[in-house]
Each structure stands twice: as C-alpha cells, then as structure tokens.
C-alpha cells in the first residue's frame, strides 16, 4: 500500500470537510407572546435558526443537518403536540422555519402554550429561544396565545406614520397588510397639514380576524418596503366602530436625536472596568470590537450619576436621528461579557420621542426586568374601552362587567415605562357599566406630558389593558 498516498488523501479530506460548532442562536418566533389569535383559521408560527458557516452558506436552502419542531398544547395541559416545521426562507444569515397549527385545535376563549426547538443532527444539540421581542419561548416558560372570536362589527382603523428624517421620500406613502392582501390594494396616506406625518384609514369589516399585520410602503411598483418585521394590532370591536393606532415611524427609526440615561445597580459585584454594550450605535459590543471612554459607566457623581459611590453606575448616551427604536443592551463589571443573563436575552427598551432625555429605570446587574404574563379576562365577563382616543383634555374609560367578579378589579393608568400614573378605582366587582374620566393628571393632580399611556383593569390573575394617546 502506498502510505504516502493515504496520508495525503486524509489531509485532503480534513481540509475540504470542515466541522462547525453547535447552534449559535435561535429565536425570533412570531406571533409574539400574548398575541390574540382568531379562531377558525390555521395558525402559522415562524422560527429562526443561526449556525455559523451553515445557515449562512446558501440563500435558498436550509442549513444542512438542522431541523425545527413546533410544540403546542392547551394552557396547563400535560402533553405537548408536535409539528415538524418546514424551511421557509433565509432571513439574513438565519434560516426561517414555519409550522402550522390547524384551526381544528383552536377554539374561542381558550389559550394555548407554544415553543419551538431547533435540532442539530451532527452533535445532537438543541436550542429553544424567544420571540421577536425577547420574551422567553421554552418548554418551561412557553409563549401564550389567546384564541378569540372574529370581529363582531365594522371598525374603521386610523393609521399614521412619521416620515420626518426619511432621506429619499417617495410618494405615495401607503399602508398595506393582511387587510389589503398586502400589496394587492395599497391604501394611500396623505400629509394634509405638511408636518411630515401621513394619515389614512382602513375599514376592517365584521367577521375579520382581530389580529392584523401591516407595513408601510413608498412609491408605486416596484414598491419601497419597510425593512422591519411586520407591525401588528388587535381590532377593537367593543367601542364606537373607530380605532386610532399610535403614530408609527418609517422603518421604526427615530426622527430626531434622543439622549438616554442608563443606570445599573452593581451592589455586591467586584467592579474593575464597568462598561455598557448594545446593538444600536453609538452602543456596540465592546468585548468584541474594543472599548472606548464613551462606553464607560460611572459611580462618581458625574455623567448623570445622582449619588457617588452608591453602587449605581450611570451614563448618558445620545442616539442620533435614524436610530432603530428597539434597543438591546448589557453591562460588564470587568470588560468581558460577564453579565449573567439568560441565553440570547438582553435588557431592552423602546426609544420614545416624548422627551429629549429618556431616563430608564435602574436595572440590577444580572437580572432581567420581570415580565408578568397577564391572562386576559374572558370577553363574556368584562370589556374595557377608552374614548376619545387620542384625546386632548380628557378621555372616558368605559368598563362593562357582565358577571360578578370573584376578586374586585382595579383600574389604573401607567406610562410606557411601567410607572403608575393614576389609580381610578379599586373596587369594581358587581355587574354593570362604569364610566371613568381621566383628565391627564397623575395621583398628585399634576398634568402629565403628551404621549401614549396604558389603562389596565386587573382582577386576580386576569388582566385587560389598552393604549390611549394624550395630545396637548
């Protein structure tokens, strides 16, 4: 036997058959946690996987040796149903898979639990991730979907999108979505008062799915599409037949600079080189590409730090016009990626434009903000709505209770940071119709700024909430 030939052949095999590591990431499940799903329709669930050198090797085929499974069950059930997910499309360097839960298993007023799992047959490893907003989606902490009936009436939905800051604006600006067959019948929006905000309306007819998805487009065919995930909303068919959605931003990007104050409690930690890292410039992942003094956080009474040497480290960072509004970030005590957060999860917030400077709540190093999964009250027991919405001086929040509640319900108003603004009632229990006026003031009778607020009705484990917009 020619041993030189064998050795050479083995060397060639080693060179041309590379090995890759385990699955690097999975997640971006859609629909989001706590989504309302319309009964009578199949439910499509989407899931993405990334593995270096595998999912990014082809733009039209699934990564070799990877597969995905969709798990679902009635909430609180003992056994999971499984569906093999099919490769759908490449999304950047990720492979996207899709699985379909049949409508026969989705009945009104029930809820289901869902998670997805990626599998790599080369080493037997698996991965369970999160949804597109970072909510956990695992066997131990699954997503929860509420199954609801179709709309019971015609509802006119009003859209608005802020196009200020768009470099190359092309008219018409239109909205498309599940209610238009996407680009089959775009609905043109108009900027009637020349403020850069385009407005339009769409009639959602009775019998439609309450869950609707949409995007904005510019121009005529070929259209210029927003390069973001689909937006969504739930049709409110419990009011007067009109629904105003909060103003959107083209590609979900800011239209002016916004400063943000970050604060982290590092009590009990050994702190040598404290920095902040993140996904939106000027934040970056410094343990990968190097730190700068702009990334440092302080506990010396400077850089918006309120009290020196109290273990709460602070910095202020200005995000420029055009920043993607969904920001993820982490901290480090020593310059390494050492904040012990769950896999594939970071702190996160949305860049709002209500104020020039946004003060984020203090977070604890290594602890994600608690996300309490609320269970909506059955629609045959209670409904809540606010009108007018948006409003200037005051809005009326209407609560209708059809059956006596076991636990008295509280009605409160919060801002988007989760701060309690106003308690309107804490003793709703008996059947009847209740009307509450909120005049845009907090519990100390101080006027609050313009912006979007959340009303929340809570009774025991059940919660109903909605958004209302104050315009001054």
Q: How far is CA 184 from CA 160, 174, 251, 365, in A?
A: 20, 12, 21, 49
Mind giving me the DSSP string for 250-294? Answer: GGGB-SS-EEEEEEEE-TT---SB-EEEESSTT---HHHH---GG
Res 370: pLDDT? 56
Res 382: pLDDT? 61
Q: How far is CA 217 from CA 48, 169, 198, 199, 222, in A?
A: 25, 11, 12, 13, 10
Res 418: pLDDT? 62
Whether pLDDT at 439 is above 80: yes
Q: How confident is the model at residue 209 (pLDDT cuts 50, 70, 90)?
A: confident
Q: Tell me if the bond preceding 282 is cis, omega within 30° of 0.
A: yes
Q: How confident is the model at residue 417 (pLDDT cuts 50, 70, 90)?
A: low
Res 170: pLDDT? 95
Res 5: pLDDT? 36
The pLDDT tens digits of the residues spanning 149-188 come to 889 999 999 999 999 989 899 999 999 999 999 988 999 9
Whether pLDDT at 466 is above 80: no
Whether pLDDT at 2 is above 50: no
Q: Tell me if the bond preceding 171 is cis, omega within 30° of 0.
A: no
The pLDDT tens digits of the residues spanning 49-79 come to 999 888 877 667 788 889 999 999 998 888 9
Q: What is the mean pLDDT of residues 308-328?
A: 94
Q: Are 248 and 231 in contact (CB under 8 A)?
A: yes
Query: What's the mean per-residue pLDDT of the chain?
Result: 86
Phi-psi bin for 194: left (phi > 0), alpha (psi -120 to 50), beta? left
- Tell me the H-state helices in 51-97: none
Q: What is the mean pLDDT of residues 199-219?
A: 94
The pLDDT tens digits of the residues spanning 81-114 come to 999 999 998 888 899 999 999 998 888 888 899 9
Res 380: pLDDT? 45
Of 404 and 261, the one with more pLDDT: 261
Percent of residues, the chain, with pLDDT higher than 90? 55
The pLDDT tens digits of the residues spanning 346-387 come to 999 999 887 778 889 899 999 987 544 444 444 445 667 788
Res 374: pLDDT? 43
Q: Which two tokens stand for residue 132?
A: 């597109």
Residue ranges of domains in the chain, CATH in brackets: 25-148 (2.60.40.10), 155-252 (2.60.40.10), 258-364 (2.60.40.10), 382-470 (2.60.40.4070)
Burial class (CB in 10 A: 0-12, 13-18, 19+), 184: exposed
């Amino acid at each position: 036997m020619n041993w030189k030939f064998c050795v050479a052949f083995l060397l060639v095999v080693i060179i041309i058959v590379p090995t890759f590591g385990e699955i690097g990431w999975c997640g971006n499940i859609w629909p989001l946690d706590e989504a309302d799903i319309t009964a009578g329709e199949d439910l499509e669930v989407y899931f993405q996987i990334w593995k270096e050198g595998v999912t990014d090797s082809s733009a039209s085929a699934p990564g070799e040796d990877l597969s995905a499974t969709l798990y679902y069950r009635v909430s609180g059930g003992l056994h999971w149903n499984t569906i093999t997910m099919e490769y759908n499309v490449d999304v950047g360097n990720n492979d996207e898979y899709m699985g379909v839960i049949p409508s026969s298993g989705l009945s009104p007023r029930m809820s289901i639990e869902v998670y997805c799992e990626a599998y790599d047959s080369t080493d037997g490893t698996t991965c369970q991730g999160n949804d597109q907003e970072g909510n956990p989606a695992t066997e131990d902490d699954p997503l929860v979907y509420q199954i609801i009936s179709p709309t019971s009436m015609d509802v006119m939905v009003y859209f608005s999108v802020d196009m200020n800051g768009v470099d190359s604006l092309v008219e018409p600006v239109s909205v498309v979505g599940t209610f238009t067959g996407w680009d089959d019948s775009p609905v043109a929006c108009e900027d009637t008062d020349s403020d850069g905000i385009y407005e339009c309306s769409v009639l959602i007819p009775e019998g439609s799915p309450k869950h609707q998805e949409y995007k904005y487009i510019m121009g005529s065919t070929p259209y210029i599409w927003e390069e973001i995930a689909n937006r969504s909303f739930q049709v409110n068919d419990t009011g007067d037949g009109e629904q105003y959605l909060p103003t959107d931003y083209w590609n979900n990007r800011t239209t002016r600079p916004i400063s943000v104050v970050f604060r982290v409690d590092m009590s009990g930690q050994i702190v040598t080189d404290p920095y902040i890292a993140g996904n939106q410039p000027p934040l970056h992942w410094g343990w990968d590409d190097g730190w700068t003094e702009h990334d440092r956080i302080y506990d010396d009474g400077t850089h918006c730090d309120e009290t020196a040497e109290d273990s709460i480290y602070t910095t202020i960072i200005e995000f420029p016009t055009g920043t993607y509004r969904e920001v993820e970030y982490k901290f480090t005590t020593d310059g390494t990626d050492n904040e012990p957060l769950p896999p594939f999860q970071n702190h996160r917030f949305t860049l709002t434009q209500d104020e020039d400077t946004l003060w984020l709540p203090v977070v604890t190093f290594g602890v994600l903000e608690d996300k309490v999964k609320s269970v909506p009250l059955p629609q045959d027991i209670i409904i809540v709505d606010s009108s007018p919405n948006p409003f200037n001086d005051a809005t009326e929040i209407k609560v209708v209770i059809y059956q006596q509640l076991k636990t008295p319900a509280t009605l409160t108003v919060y801002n988007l940071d989760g701060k309690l603004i106003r308690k309107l009632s804490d003793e709703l229990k008996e059947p009847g119709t209740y009307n509450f006026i909120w005049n845009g003031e907090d519990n100390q009778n101080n006027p609050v700024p313009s912006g979007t607020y959340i009303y929340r009705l809570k009774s025991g484990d059940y919660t109903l909430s909605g958004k209302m917009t104050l315009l001054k």
